Structure 1
């Protein structure tokens, strides 16, 4: 037969049997083998096409994972990171010409998982992400009933890190001395510090988010101005927050025009992207003579420290910073309590030692 593209293809037709397409040209090894298989009723050999996935393999689990609600709800940054990591895992050698992604999930043992993780031991954060990605693939396999046991059960990889540095008072003073109130550099700083917002919320904060609430407290009705918005978390719906307008933030925003859509406006007159704002903050800190390492998220952390030092409860910390995990909020409280208790304890020791020294000199 001749296709519509002018290509000649050969087909074996037999009465009462299904037609069989024959590859190649007559009298070639490929053609003759396919012809003999068809005549004798032998199944044609299965050819693994590039990019295809073997049944119940890690690669097949990955294909199913990308169709799940969990995956579709990821923001672009997370999905890209997980995709790159999973594809790197699947392409790892597994003996011969086989790659890890070609093997059945049921053959993946705990020892294999440890071996995979060991390849990333020099970068603890990457090792943790690899474990997260493997677990996602395994959960798909369990959900599909390909396996019953999770080989990553109770495995943890939690690298020790101090995370983003909270801005101390001297660094804040340095930044404020360089950038005046009313500049975009100062506005970005003030929004991060006095609202405790993530970068993704700062770039999207609009003037129409500003509202007034009437709140009953201590037997009285209080009128409170602030911003009300839903946290941005990619495709997932974040938590709805109302954050009061403190006098500190009110002074910072007072010179700004209300004719723009977003509170923070770039030099081009539009909103910043999350990535560009983080990059610009690094530039602004450098221009202020501040050493690298102080970030927008560090200002959010600085507010957490201030709240904890003011004896804010764990619940209050969670509501202001938008944390769902109580462990994050408790971290601020513990650090502030440790500092406060240590100072008070050493003040007592100092007072005792000074009294002892004064008695010694008198004698």
Structure 2
């Protein structure tokens, strides 16, 4: 879906190209930079709001700086080949790096400087720190390819540990199902994510054609095709869902959700179900499917196919946890059997004899 623009900014489509412009009422139309996520756009928009009709003078990033490196990367084929959704995520993080560190020289990057000046200020936000390190390493790889660097100065920096999104508990699943009956839009969204393992970016635009053909879709994040069967629970939820649009889930205005709109919709539904733990997130339903498949005895390859993983590593984690859980239960069963065999139910001592398990041999 197109990014929401600031007030008084319009998209103009001319000869197959889209332009952004500022206009209040029937006033003069002022051309703005094409990318609304950049500082150049923000400066031009602020000038237009202030009534300045001339294009503001933008200070270009000095050659050899991180800012110039970001501009070079964004003009590369590697960046332009990204999907539009991926570009949004990349652009947001790259722009933040440019604002905070664009003045720094690429040649002066060292492991210590990256850690001290770029990552340490994000210590209280491990998710942001991890994403920043990923983007810095992408920029470094681009710089090496351009001959700006001879080696990777980020080698040896440990990945910040973020909090992994967890699977839902059985109690949370039951609470949600009690609150949202089959036939409600909230239950249908839940059933799709829980039974197909779709992420929010895959769920919000799922079509009836995709679920009618047996839960077939392509993961937006990795491009991996997933071909599943419709489970009985999902079949019941879909059968009770009105078909108002080509997409399964639509807003109250009968339009498809945006990614952020769908996330907010699910968060509200979780809260309305009385689930107050903030670590219970919509994406956790995907993790829950992996756990349920492993508990059911599915192999790592089966889980990999169902969840659209590119490697076995993630799928094997589910099977390892399930095997550990089953192994713990088997251990207690064997312990009980061992104790029962050691102490017979009919004590032979009452007959004046020594039980075999307690008889001692003399040397």
Does residue 1:288 correspond to 2:273, yes or no?
Answer: yes
- Describe the shift of the 1:262–1:88 C-alpha distance in structure 2 as closer, same or farther (beyond 3 A): closer
Structure showing greater relative contact order (alpha-carbon pairs closer than 8 Å, 6 or more residues apart):
1
Q: Deviations over 1:219-239 (max 9, x none)?
A: xxxxxxx12222234xxx722
Equivalent in 298, 313, 321 of residue 312 of structure 1: 298
The aligned residue for residue 335 of structure 2 is 349
Is the contact made by 1:278 and 1:295 (CA closer than 8 Å) also made in structure 2?
no
Q: What is aligned with 1:155?
A: 157
Verify: 1:327 aligned to 2:328, yes or no: no
Tell me, in whole angstroms, the C-alpha distance in 1 between the residues paired with 2:293 and 2:77.
36
Aligned-pair CA distance for 1:260: 2.4
Q: Secondary structure at the match of 1:102?
A: coil
Deviation at residue 202 of structure 1 after TM alignment: 1.3
Structure 1 distance, partners of 2:173, 2:348, is 46
Shift of 1:165: 2.3
Q: Is the 8 A contact 2:130 2:162 kept in 1?
A: no
Equivalent of 2:233 in 241, 248, 251: 248
How far apart, CA to CA, are the structure 1 residues paired with 2:283 and 2:104?
41
Q: 2:251 aligns with which of 266, 288, 305?
A: 266
Q: Are the aligned partners of 2:249 and 2:256 in contact in 1 as well (CA < 8 Å)?
A: yes
**Matched position secondary structure for 1:232:** coil
Question: What is the CA distance between 1:275 and its match in structure 2?
Answer: 1.4
SS at structure 2 position matched to 1:200: helix
Structure 2 CA distance for aligned equivalents of residues 126 and 153 of structure 1: 19
Which residue is equivalent to 2:7?
A: none
- Matched ranges for 1:144-223 at <5 A: 144-159=146-161, 161=163, 163-212=164-213
Distance 1:193 1:361, change over 3 A: farther
How far is the alpha carbon of 1:358 from its aligned partner?
6.4
Which stretch of the first structure deviates more once superposed, 124-133 or 185-194? 124-133
> Which residue of the partner structure matches residue 227 of structure 1?
215
Larger Rg: 1
Normalised TM-score (structure 2)? 0.72
CA RMSD of aligned residues (A): 2.5
Question: Which digits, 9 at most, give the CA deviation of each residue in 1:237-259, with x for residues without a partner?
Answer: 72222221122211121122335
The match for 1:113 is 114
Count of residues in Structure 1 that have an aligned counterpart in Structure 2: 291
2:61 counterpart of 1:53: yes
Ranges in structure 2 where 5+ consecutive residues have no aligned partner: 1-56, 350-363
In terms of mean alpha carbon deviation, does 65-74 or 270-279 score higher? 65-74
* Structure-2 residue corresponding to 1:123: 125
Worse-superposed segment, 53-62 or 329-338: 53-62
Change in CA separation of 1:87 and 1:197 when aligned onto 2, cut-off 3 Å: closer
Which structure: greater strand fraction? 1
- 1:62 Cα offset (Å): 0.8
Looking at structure 2, the residues matched to 258 and 65 of structure 1 have their Cα atoms a distance apart, in angstroms, of: 44
Instruction: Quote the offset at 1:341 in angstroms.
Output: 0.7
Which stretch shows the higher mean deviation, 281-290 or 258-267? Answer: 258-267
Q: 1:344 to 1:160 in 2, by over 3 A?
A: farther
TM-score (norm 1): 0.72
Is 2:78 the partner of 1:70? yes
Q: 1:290 to 1:155 in 2, by over 3 A?
A: same
Deviation at 1:50, TM superposition (A): 5.0
* Per-residue CA distance 1:274-311 (angstroms, 9 max, x = gap): 21222122211222212233222111111111111112
Deviating beyond 6 angstroms after TM superposition, the runs of 4 or more aligned structure 1 residues are 357-362
